[in-house]
Structure 1
């Protein structure tokens, strides 16, 4: 039996504050994405002196960092409040974290909009932004750390009040995800505080490029799992309730999350396979660890389809795939996340290609990589987030998901799926033809290469336009659910129960010192010697190591 607590009105206001920022970011970032596809198609020129890399930076930062992080932290606060509760002190501290994140977001966004931080989402040196951009990033990360410690304290307090009891599955998952975030952001915080801020202030005249990129990707790849795991939380604990089923296995769910904690962080070198200065042996080690991350995803796929089959058979459906008919295809709370699950099959396959030393050489720095991100984060994760929103927003605001909004949500899901299929598919194909990422293609003029890519650029613009229609529709639905949905009522917070067959969960799964210790050992093993080697073998001015100050 899973204990379910009520979310109080003060807690709901806190969570909704995160949601407001997330959906405002969706609208702004989506517009920037549409403009990018139109520019790349050659059919549109940006007005008012706006630069392509300015909108590219806005798109990447506001969608990849601001939207996702605000939504995830808000959603996780909801899961924690529902499963272990939130005290007044914890809520006040959560508000402090929220406002620090907001200040950081405003600072960074202002610098981008003023054209003083056209350094892209990855902010690679030697591109240099205004110091306030880096200070904004640092404040944003500090705000998220406060959210981490609020979540940690929530579970610790519950454990103290319930000695010997198994922690609620939702709370366990949230803590794992926030551990991944906290450990990984130590890398990006280090490079921002000790490299980029002093460099941008003129305190030093050089920056060690390889160290900065290594610290960024120490964070950059775990970020993908920070995006993904909240979707997994919904798949494991929410979707079974929506389809009328039960959680297949508590132990398997916890094991998959623990494996993500172990294998998601020490893998950043697979983003740096083409870079000199890193010993190939350590690249190989991290590629192996990257492939190991596929294991918890396969466990999740098995668990979810077992859940679907058991729910269908419990309703009397027989045959090999008869249970498939039992799934609630007309319920947008299920349909959107399910399409997200399906998209993760080709998305995961593309991820294995990206991580492979040989195949990565074919697609490295091509728009294939952009297509991959849009298939995973922008489809798998975002469709699941949309599916969550259809019940979470009205639950928090005292509204109802009406049949009309449900139908509108199904239309939005179809529009999103069609638009993303066209755009991401065109990106993948163009990438195989050598089309670069991060480029407006204008530098190629009328070259033979540009002519080969033009059809796929137009397809990207068509897909991007369809997607923006989907964004406008989703924003409209959000406004209706948050402010103007009728009738008012109580929307269920769907939390699934455990199946009757679910066995005991090994107590070792909650030995936090053990699992955090193993994670730290793996990180030290994967990074200590390579970082020492990088620092010791970085002579001033060497290409690939240190660069003079550059401006974006």
Structure 2
């Protein structure tokens, strides 16, 4: 990393753009969290929704706001700040593109939200066919995707400007990571854009009579799995490049960090079939191939774990720790900027183990479409990723608004993280246990409450309601902290911490920034994993069969 070329603050004009994204993100957190609370209360069997509100409407709002809106807006806001902090202020053109992207995403989100509230789009956040939504919902989704492309293009353009101004130099690590994540997002969203624009929107408008359900699901999961890594990689940015600075250490290896991100780019996209292992119409050989590619993603995850704990140990020993685990005592447990992301980091251990089960060719059949999957989802996104995002916001928001993280807010942030941990232990743990007993995901309690088997699930559903209630308290606490840091905290300067590599570390290989090579390999893997299966699916689509007509009537 070229420390001499790195500015110390986010440009104020870029800070406004970043904060605009964060305002939308935390608004989505509050509304989506409330819907989550209502959802777990209904599933407990002890509560009915008032005012004619539909359970699947609540479920859709929860998934869309937290799974898509919160994450996309927070990531775009954080990445905008990260690029401005490390590669320099955006040009006027790039900043204008960022604002255009923001407003396209915001308008699209509003359009989709209105349709959900009008009960015209209760199709869950996966919006699977043959569930059909109002055309405005699909147009809104399209605007969100296109807006993210425009905003992402502005970030890539800023990186390109830095490269032109610094020929032969290694780009700042955070900016490089942002580019990898943005490129992955653009490539992945081509799949969901295709199914929305070419299938679901014409079908919703009545221009075509039916859609190929298997093609639409395949295109969705081409996008759906890298979506998980689009959420996760900003957390990795914090772990690799920011946490070392907070704890007073150095980045373990700049080159290892870059390599791990490139491996995520290569292996996160051509693996969508592992979400479709029980679906007919896909050759088992191709499913197995994509399972193998899925397991390749474990490699950069283990590289990250090794790098982070090596950083912790080296920092602790440099501060005088001895013994096998003496370094643990040297970590700044009283600093929310470290403790909150660390809890998320620790949660990724059981979350990753659950992901291995979900992706396994045989074990997946035990848990597929049960609430186990929902529990896994809440460990990965709602704990590992979201807690890290909270930890980022505790220094990012005051940095952008010219305020300070006070001792009181720091203490409340640590309390909030432990409240979240307790709530998620109850809720996600109960979901995993109920899933092993066969409890379905998504379904309202009234749909299975009278069955004999459902009696086994009731204690776990109640535990989910308890956990969800505790989590909602955690959401209230984080919103209190966010509002304080954005509007009421004392004026001052809060550091945007960026770690540095060890002195004397060799320069990262130039091949890491050979984008023609990495994009070429990515394209080759995608074509290899999807071309023949998609041709087979389309050629053998059961149009006109009784089975197809039955799907079309759902």
Q: Same fold (TM over 0.5)?
A: yes
2:166 alignment partner in structure 1 = 162
Using the alignment, how far apart are the partners of 1:416 and 1:241 within structure 2?
Answer: 25
Maintained 8 Å contact 1:128/1:549: no
Find the counterpart in structure 2 of residue 402 from structure 1.
Answer: 406
Shift of 1:4: 2.6
Once the two structures are superposed, residues 395-449 of structure 1 have per-residue CA deviations (whole angstroms, 9 ceiling, x without a partner) of 0001100001011011101100000011000000000000000111212232211
- Say which of 250, 256, 260 aligns to 1:252: 256
- Give the equivalent residue in structure 2 for 1:8: 11
Residues 41-75 of structure 1: CA deviation (Å, up to 9, x unaligned): 01110011110000000000110000000000000
Q: CA deviation at 1:89?
A: 1.4
Q: 2:145 aligns with which of 133, 136, 141?
A: 141
Give 1:456-471 correspondences, 5 Å limit: 456-471=460-475
User: What is the aligned length?
Assistant: 550
Runs of 5+ in structure 1 lacking a partner?
none
CA distance in 2, matches of 1:345, 1:329: 19
Which of 280, 296, 310 is the matching residue for 1:276?
280
**Which aligned pairs between 1:52-451 and structure 2 lie closer than 5 A?**
52-85=55-88, 86-451=90-455
Change (3 A) 1:544 1:291: farther
1:518 to 2:508 alignment: no
Name the residue aligned to 1:495: 498
Q: Distance in 1 between matches of 2:248 and 2:292?
A: 39
Say if 2:170 and 2:507, in contact at 8 Å, map to a contact too. Answer: no
Aligned to 1:506: 509
Greater length-normalized contact order (CA 8 Å, ≥ 6 residues apart): 1
Deviation for aligned residue 1:548: 6.0
* Cα 1:156/1:550, change in 2 over 3 Å: farther
**1 CA distance for matches of 2:511 and 2:131?**
47
Deviation at 1:454, TM superposition (A): 0.1
| Partner SS, residue 207 of structure 1 | coil
87 and 550 in structure 1: CA distance in 2 versus 1, 3 angstrom threshold: farther
Aligned equivalents of 1:494, 1:133: Cα separation in 2 = 39
Q: Distance in 2 between matches of 1:60 and 1:32?
A: 9
Matched, 1:27 2:30: yes
Equivalents in 1 of 2:479, 2:120: separation in Å? 29
Q: CA deviation at 1:504?
A: 2.4
- Equivalent pair of 1:366/1:434 in contact (CA under 8 Å): yes
The counterpart of 2:536, out of the listed 533, 538, 544, is 533
Shift of 1:546: 6.7
Q: Secondary structure at the match of 2:132?
A: coil
Cα distance between partner residues in 2 of 1:509 and 1:490? 35
1:197-255 Cα offsets, whole Å, 9 max, x none, are 10000001111000000000000000000000000000011000000001000000000
Residues 501-531 of structure 1: per-residue CA shift (max 9 Å, x gap):
5222111111110011000000000000000
**In 2: Cα distance, 1:342 partner to 1:517 partner:** 35
CA distance in 2, matches of 1:406, 1:280: 51
Q: Does structure 2 retain, via aligned residues, the 8 Å contact 1:423–1:463?
A: yes
Tell me how far apart the structure 2 counterparts of residues 326 and 503 of structure 1 sit (CA, whole Å).
28
1:165-201 Cα shifts (integer Å, max 9, x gaps): 1111111100000111000000000000000010000
TM-score (normalizing by structure 1): 0.98
User: Taking structure 1 as reference, are residues 25 and 291 closer, same or farther at Cα in structure 2, changes over 3 Å only?
Assistant: same
Whole-angstrom CA distance in 1 between matches of 2:406 and 2:524: 50
1:283-333 Cα deviation digits (max 9, x unpaired): 000000000000000000000000000110111111111111100001111
Q: CA deviation at 1:542?
A: 4.1
RMSD between aligned residues: 1.1
Q: In structure 2, which of residues 475, 480, 493 is the aligned counterpart of residue 476 of structure 1?
A: 480
How far apart are the structure 1 equivalents of 2:16 and 2:550? 47
2: CA distance between counterparts of 1:155 and 1:17?
22
What is the CA-CA distance between 1:547 and the residue it aligns to? 5.9
How high is the TM-score relative to the length of structure 2?
0.98
* In structure 2, distance between residues paired with 1:489 and 1:306: 34
